A and B are shown apart, each in its own frame.
Chain A
Amino acid sequence: MTLAARLKQDGLSLIPYLMAGHPDLDTTREVGRKLVNTGIAAIELGIPYSDPLADGPVIQRAGQRALDAGTTTEGCLEVAADIAAEQAAPVILMTYVNPVLAYGPERFARDAAEAGVAGVIIPDVPVEESADIARTITAAGLDTVFLVAPTSPDERIVAAATASTGFVYCVTVTGITGSRSALHPDVHGLLAKVRSHTDLPVAAGFGISSAEQVSLLREHADAAIVGSAIVNELDAGRDPGPLVRELLSACK
């Protein structure tokens, strides 16, 4: 089943995020394998980058810890392969453009495809800069996911939706990743606008940390992406399983 078809299935689904290598790759592998078997729609796996502009303090720190522990892009792809091998939920990679360029876009796309990865999100590549890299990634059979933000005018939403495959990533706060007490005041209007421009599933992310916020997205989005809240659990040395189960029940 394609990523798009999977996310279009019944109601709101959940995409948790893990930073590969935080606190180490073995933990990411172990936690990732467990999470994909809990009923989540897909898992997002971050490849750490030294200068993550779109990320708030929690994911920044997690990425820095991963890098300090010696995490490499190669190591992240190996863990992605191990999680994908469970064949329980698709793996989506999220990283910034410079690590991809340094690895070599063609090699990255090929190795990710071989690892069984379903799609790639690169938040610092907007649509107008994406031609070469998106072509390389889709040529390897992977989905490319673009982001739309509360500040995006209609024509940019159309462009991002047209360029995306798999799903469209709708940023639900004006800002960076990390917990917020409140989502964008007109999050429903924003999601409705994005849905009016595309048949692809629409996933909502950034700032979503609680079951209450997830439940607000029911019927308005196809998936909720939760990152910092899960990374926080790992930071505290806790198994993120219970939080994920709570978020999953909020989807229903």
Chain B
Amino acid sequence: MTEHNGSDDRTGHEHDSHDPDERGYFGEFGGRFIPEALIPALEELSAEYDKARLDPDFVNELLRLLSDYAGRPSLLTEAPRFARHAGGAQIWLKREDLNHTGSHKINNVLGQALLTKRMGKKRVIAETGAGQHGVATATACALLDLDCVIYMGEVDTERQALNVARMRLLGAEVVPVKTGSRTLKDAINEALRDWVTNVETTHYLLGTAAASHPFPLMVRNFHRIIGIEARRQMLAKAGRLPDAVAACVGGGSNAIGIFHGFIDDKDVRLVGYEPAGHGIESGEHGATLSEGSPGLLHGSRSYLLQDEDGQITEAYSISAGLDYPGVGPEHSYLKDSGRAEYYSVTDDEAMEAFQLLSRTEGIIPAIESSHALAGAIRLGKELGPDGVILVSLSGRGDKDMDTAAKFFGLVGEDA
């Protein structure tokens, strides 16, 4: 199975030993815990994806859009000046920030939008945290002539006002969600409630590798292209596989996509970095895998942040794309099986890495991806000059300039 010669023409949609069982379980994580009204829609989606993943017309149309529209393959860039601050290890960046719409999200969105067309549905709903998934969804809906409604927590609409404008410009309706913590978790709740109500005409274009089967499988497969390309590029450019792959984990979509390129390469460490926010001890964080416990949220069994009564607790991160109190079930499985490792990175560490990459490489990363960069600094110090680290640079930081300007005091006379 594992190829070391650099040639690899997988698309990510192949069946392999890493597929969940037919009930959508990765080990003991996953499944379909969702109101009855949605089960037939999930069954329809599973059946459609199962057909589509084997259909060359579907896969080729998707590959065409990924290359001609989204700009794949994304670059692999070495970051030598940044690496000096990371114990001198070699650091390579998988540049998902260069995709159309500025993040990895477009990979999954184009795939699911094509599936929506196949199912004959005309209306798409989606949740968004930072706005990256919302912008990508609004983009694909504009391209493929689908009606689009985006649910976004009210707090996030304020943190990411420019992305709200971007989605509206693209023709989407943006609905600020005012319930609960008014962030990503509540946006998903509202999107699911819309879906229950409009399920016969509407596809829920979920943006992360979480929730009920088949979403964790399908979203992962749409993102496996990241890891497939990165592995090929590492062999071609670095002449070897990395010692470790670092990625940020909120729901976990970019991480699962890049991890899968190396999952059969047992010597490659897969390392996920969750948001520690103001620090684990402050209680204000989103470190679901590191600090949470198994339970059920948004339709599947996975690790989550909850109190002793099973009420979901609020997650916090400076990055709007990572403050989610759940995580994709396959990450829970990879954690418990020991195949992947998960650690947490504070707001301060992430912002330091954000600034460092900007100043040493001229690349402004998303704050989400900056958690992976902070992780790479730790890994580099651990591995030393012989180490080779691949980082998933999942998005660009333009959307974060308001947050960064406030954090670093970049605007005003004293700046």
B67: CB under 8 A from chain A?
Answer: no
Known: A101-B296, A126-B34. A54 touches B39 (CB 8 A): no
Return the chain B residue nearest A63 by Cβ: B311
B189: CB under 8 A from chain A?
Answer: yes
Is there contact, CB below 8 Å, between B189 and A146? no
- Distance (Å) between the CB of B333 and the closest chain A CB? 17
Say which residue of B199, B296, B311 sits within 8 Å of A174 (CB atoms): B199
- Distance (Å) between the CB of B19 and the closest chain A CB? 18
B117: CB under 8 A from chain A?
Answer: no
Q: Which of B278-337 contact A (CB under 8 A)?
A: 295-299, 306-312
A50: CB under 8 A from chain B?
Answer: yes
Known: A51-B297, A151-B37, A174-B200. A99 touches B192 (CB 8 A): no
Most buried by B among A53, A64, A152: A53
Return the chain B residue nearest A67 by Cβ: B311
Known: A98-B312, A102-B308. A176 touches B36 (CB 8 A): no
Return the chain B residue nearest A72 by Cβ: B309
| Bound: A242/B40 CA distance, A | 39
Return the chain B residue nearest A52 by Cβ: B189
B10: CB under 8 A from chain A?
Answer: no
Is there contact, CB below 8 Å, between B36 and A97? no
Known: A53-B189, A102-B310, A156-B39. A175 touches B196 (CB 8 A): yes
Chain B residues in 8 Å Cβ range of A151: 36-41, 199-200
Chain B residues in 8 Å Cβ range of A73: 309-310
Chain B residues in 8 Å Cβ range of A72: 309
Most buried by A among B32, B37, B296: B37
- Distance (Å) between the CB of B24 and the closest chain A CB? 10
- Distance (Å) between the CB of A146 and the closest chain B CB? 7
Q: Which of A4-61 contact B (CB under 8 A)?
A: 49-51, 53-54, 56-57, 60
| Bound: A94/B150 CA distance, A | 30
Known: A51-B180, A102-B295, A174-B196. A149 touches B35 (CB 8 A): yes
Q: Which of A182-241 contact B (CB under 8 A)?
A: none
A124: CB under 8 A from chain B?
Answer: yes
Chain B residues in 8 Å Cβ range of A96: 296
1/0 contact trace for B29-48 toward A, CB 8 Å?
Answer: 00111111111110000000
- Distance (Å) between the CB of A157 and the closest chain B CB? 10
Chain A residues in 8 Å Cβ range of B32: 126, 128-129
Residues on B facing A (Cβ under 8 Å): 23, 31-41, 179-180, 185, 189, 192-193, 196-200, 295-299, 306-312
Is there contact, CB below 8 Å, between A147 and B36? yes
| Bound: A37/B298 CA distance, A | 38
Chain B residues in 8 Å Cβ range of A149: 35-37
| Bound: A221/B278 CA distance, A | 54
Q: 14 extra interchain contacts, Cβ-Cβ under 8 A, other than A53-B34, A151-B199? A: A50-B311, A51-B189, A57-B179, A98-B310, A99-B310, A124-B34, A125-B33, A126-B39, A151-B38, A151-B41, A152-B39, A160-B36, A174-B196, A176-B196
Chain A residues in 8 Å Cβ range of B192: 53
Residues on A facing B (Cβ under 8 Å): 49-51, 53-54, 56-57, 60, 64, 67, 72-73, 96-103, 123-126, 128-129, 146-153, 156, 160, 171, 174-176
Say which residue of A98, A129, A150, A153 sits within 8 Å of B37 (CB atoms): A150
- Distance (Å) between the CB of B26 and the closest chain A CB? 15
Say which residue of B36, B180, B185, B298 sits within 8 Å of A123 (CB atoms): B36
Known: A129-B31, A129-B32, A151-B40. A98 touches B197 (CB 8 A): no
Return the chain A residue nearest B326 by Cβ: A51
Chain B residues in 8 Å Cβ range of A150: 37
Is there contact, CB below 8 Å, between A176 and B193? yes
Chain B residues in 8 Å Cβ range of A146: 36
Chain A residues in 8 Å Cβ range of B180: 50-51, 64
Is there contact, CB below 8 Å, between A98 and B36? no
- Distance (Å) between the CB of B387 and the closest chain A CB? 41
Known: A51-B185, A171-B37. A124 touches B197 (CB 8 A): no
Most buried by B among A50, A72, A147, A156: A50
- A and B contact pairs by CB, cutoff 8 A, 18 listed: A50-B311, A53-B298, A54-B196, A67-B311, A72-B309, A99-B309, A99-B310, A100-B310, A124-B35, A126-B32, A128-B23, A129-B31, A147-B36, A151-B41, A156-B39, A160-B36, A171-B36, A176-B197
Chain A residues in 8 Å Cβ range of B40: 151-153, 156
Chain A residues in 8 Å Cβ range of B31: 129
Chain A residues in 8 Å Cβ range of B297: 51, 98
Say which residue of A57, A102, A148, A174 sits within 8 Å of B309 (CB atoms): A102
Chain A residues in 8 Å Cβ range of B38: 151
Is there contact, CB below 8 Å, between B196 and A60? no
| Bound: A171/B39 CA distance, A | 14
| Bound: A97/B295 CA distance, A | 9
Chain B residues in 8 Å Cβ range of A54: 35, 196
Is there contact, CB below 8 Å, between A129 and B35? no
